[in-house]
Amino acid sequence: MTGNRWQRIADQFEKLDHRLDLGRRICLAAVELLDAESASLSFTHDHVASWIEGSDDRAVKLDEQQFALGDGPTFRAIGSLTPVMTEDMTSPDALALWPAFAPPAVRLDARAVFAFPLNVGEARLGVMSVYRNRPGALTAAQYADGLVLASLATMALLRDQAGASPGDLAGSFSPGLSRQSQVQLAAGMVSEQLGVSIIEALVRLRAHAFAEERSVNSVARSVIERQLVFEKEERS
Amino acid sequence: MPPTDITDTVEAELPDSSQLAAAFVDLSRAVNDGKDMVEILTMLAERCVQVLHIAACGILVIDPRGELEVIGSSNHSAHLLDLFQVQNVEGPCLECCRDGEPVIDLELSPSGPWPGFAAATLAQGYRAVYAMPLAARGVVVGALNLFAESALTAERATVAQALADAATIALLQVDPREDATVVTRRLHLVVEERNTIEQAKGMLAQRFTIDADAAFLRLRDAAGRTRSRLIDVARSVVTRDETHPAAPLLTDQRE
């Protein structure tokens, strides 16, 4: 039961053109797995998109509009712990909820919008948005696939910032071997050691693992056992 | 086994039935008070240890992304977490989550079906392990894990399953057959809240030079004293929100 979903999505990735950048591949996989027409990744800082990647131009445009208007499921998902789903943009509910974004969304044929936050605990990195031309909900399986892809994008972004090669991301799937809680505990310690945000701490953990060719789990363990302490002057 | 069975037949045979009743009352009160799931499941794990007279207890859920995640445990030490992680590779819990049936090993042995897990567990002084499914209407969402020095009585094992059922009801709050998406959402949420709480524990562990266990107690104490939800206090710690009422309780006064 555990691990199958990761594995299936890893397989899906293998089928995509490897010359494409990872963000683009995640968008394309989202379109495929969630039976949608467009998908995007927006990376954010303080509710401003620092860059947007899309499966097509429309996805990028839909994201840009939401950030410009400060309205819409994607914009709302930035601070959300769970996905923000709008099943029909033409419904009165959707118009009431997204007064600024619903009309342009409908003009661009985005009838259903599913926005998955890119989060690890309190580390909020952005949003993956999935756009469909028809109204309707995601199935539970599509919802879960969306969560896996959003986690993948989150990992990719952290690794990218840590200077690690994103190429072997699919290979880092570790079904059934989650040491997630240890990594988060260690990130909290590093955040306090360096006086930096939790995102920065997660990046520093990964950068250290990459530089020493160790797994992030093993680095996290050293931090928890207080064998490894990050020092402020270590920053370059 | 439905929880209704145990109240009639088992409770009378247990010397500590009042403790058991208190466990169920605590659980329903915590759910009604809107406490977050990490806190509720941690409390349940602690209660299991008291009521069942076992050494340790952990509660795991299946993250909809596919991994098994420890959400609450009676004891947050790295040792216990190690056990769970070894168990993620092989062990009763994995089997229990896969098949949705209780998996019980009363005589752990390095030459048994899960040698690595047995060795690690025996090294902690536990010989018996129980994995009870967290399942509702045929949908398995996790497992309750009990570690004991010796076998539980049949009555206590029944109580353990009743507590697992109660945990499942608290966790899901819906019929998983009717609303699979809500179940996915809830399981995802509980894992993310756990991540935030781990991040906060790490910060407090570093700030006060204490271990993860003590950091959790400190967090829970601050939540209790300010009548806040645990997750909200954890969030305020990680985002360094000094306006939260719990902030003065969690500041290092030595500086």
Average pLDDT over residues B62-86: 72
The reply to whether residue A122 touches residue B238, judged by beta carbons under 8 angstroms, is yes
Question: Residue A101 pLDDT more than 90?
Answer: yes
Q: Which of A35-49, A58-72, B128-142, B175-189 has the lowest mean pLDDT?
A: B175-189
HSE at residue B77, side-chain half, CA atoms within 13 A, is 8
Is residue A109 located within the same domain as residue A208?
no
Say if the Cβ atoms of B65 and A6 lie within 8 Å.
yes
Domain end: A108, A130, A162, which one?
A162
Task: Work out how many domains chain A is built from and give that number.
Answer: 2
Q: What is the pLDDT of residue A41?
A: 95
Q: Name the token pair of B143.
A: 């497992």
Shortest CA gap A47–chain B (Å):
15
What is the per-residue pLDDT across B161-193, written as a single tens digit (0 to 9) for each? 888 898 898 888 777 777 888 889 999 999 999
Lowest-confidence segment of A162-166, B44-48, B140-144 by average pLDDT: A162-166
In whole angstroms, give the CA distance from residue A174 to residue A171.
8
In a domain, A189, yes or no: yes
Q: B212: nearest CA in chain A?
A: A185
What are the pLDDT digits (tens) for A187-231?
999 999 999 999 999 999 989 988 998 888 889 989 999 999 999
Note whether A116 and A179 are same-domain residues: no
CB contact under 8 A, B85 and A179: yes
Is the predicted pLDDT of residue B13 greater than 90, yes or no? no
* Neighboring chain B residues of A192 at a CB cutoff of 8 Å: 202-203, 206-207
Residue A235 lies in a domain: no
Within a domain: residue A84? yes
| Choice among A13-17, A122-126, B41-45 with the minimum mean pLDDT | A13-17
A195 and A153 belong to one structural domain: no
Rounded mean pLDDT of B216-220? 94
Please give the Cα distance from B4 to B162 (Å, whole number). 8
- Single-letter amino acid code for the residue at B12: A
Cα→Cα distances B204→B123, B223, B234, Å: 29, 14, 10
pLDDT at B230 over 90: yes
Query: Do A78 and A110 sit in the same domain of this protein?
Result: yes
| pLDDT given for residue B25 in this prediction | 85
Most confident of A170-184, B9-23, B57-71, B179-193: B179-193
Pair (A28, A76) in one structural domain: yes
Supply the pLDDT for residue B55: 86
- The answer to whether residue A169 sits within a structural domain is no
Q: Which one, of A12, A32, A34, lies nearest residue A112 by Cα? A: A34
Predicted confidence at residue A8, as pLDDT, reads 77
Residue A56's CB is within 10 A of a number of other CB atoms, namely 15
Nearest CB among B65, B202, B207 relative to A184 is that of B202
Where among A116, A134, A162 does a domain terminate? Answer: A162
- Average model confidence (pLDDT) across chain A: 87
Q: Burial of B4 by CB count in 10 Å (0-12 exposed, 13-18 middle, 19+ buried)? A: exposed
pLDDT band at A1 (very low <50, low <70, confident <90, very high): very low
**Rounded CA gap, A44 and A67, in Å?**
10
Residue A11 shares a structural domain with residue A69: yes
Does A154 share its domain with A182? Answer: no
pTM of the complete model: 0.88
Please say if the pLDDT value at position A57 is more than 90.
yes
- Chain B positions in Cβ-Cβ contact with residue A148 (cut-off 8 Å): 65-66
Structure confidence by residue, pLDDT tens digits, A84-97: 999 999 999 999 99
Residues of chain A contacting residue B175, judged by C-beta atoms under 8 Å apart: none
Q: Which residue of A has its CA nearest to B178?
A: A140
Give the best-scoring range by mean pLDDT among A185-189, B25-29, B105-109, B147-151.
Answer: A185-189
Residue B224 has pLDDT above 70, yes or no: yes
> Which tens digits make up the pLDDT trace of B231-248?
999 999 999 999 999 999
Higher-pLDDT residue of A60 and B14 is A60
Residue A234 lies in a domain: no
Size of interface A-B (CB pairs under 8 A): 142
Same domain, A74 and A112: yes
User: How many residues in chain B?
Assistant: 255
- Tokens standing for B7? 């109240």
- Residues A14, A116: one domain? yes
Do A82 and A6 have their domain in common?
yes
Q: What is the mean pLDDT of residues A60-88?
A: 95
Backbone phi and psi for residue A152, each to the nearest 5 degrees, phi listed first: -60, -45
Q: Under a CB-based contact definition with an 8 Å cutoff, are residues A176 and A146 in contact?
A: no
B248 or A172: which carries more pLDDT confidence?
B248
What's the CATH number where A208 sits?
1.10.10
The answer to whether position A7 is within a domain reads yes
DSSP letter (8 states) at residue A77: H
Q: How far is A66 from chain B (nearest CA, A)?
A: 24
Distance CA A1, CA A82 (A): 23
Q: What is the per-residue pLDDT for B79?
A: 54
Nearest CA in chain B to A5: B66
For residue B195, name the pLDDT band (cuts at 50, 70, 90).
very high
Indicate the pLDDT class of residue B66, thresholds 50, 70 and 90: confident
Q: Which residue of A has its CA nearest to B96?
A: A1
pLDDT class of B82 with cuts at 50, 70, 90? low
Looking at the structure, do residues A145 and A191 belong to the same domain, yes or no? no
Residue A205: give the domain boundaries: 174-224
Kindly state whether residues A178 and A158 are assigned to the same domain. Answer: no
Overall average pLDDT of the A47-65 stretch: 92
Averaged pLDDT for residues B16-23: 78
| Range A119-142 average pLDDT | 94
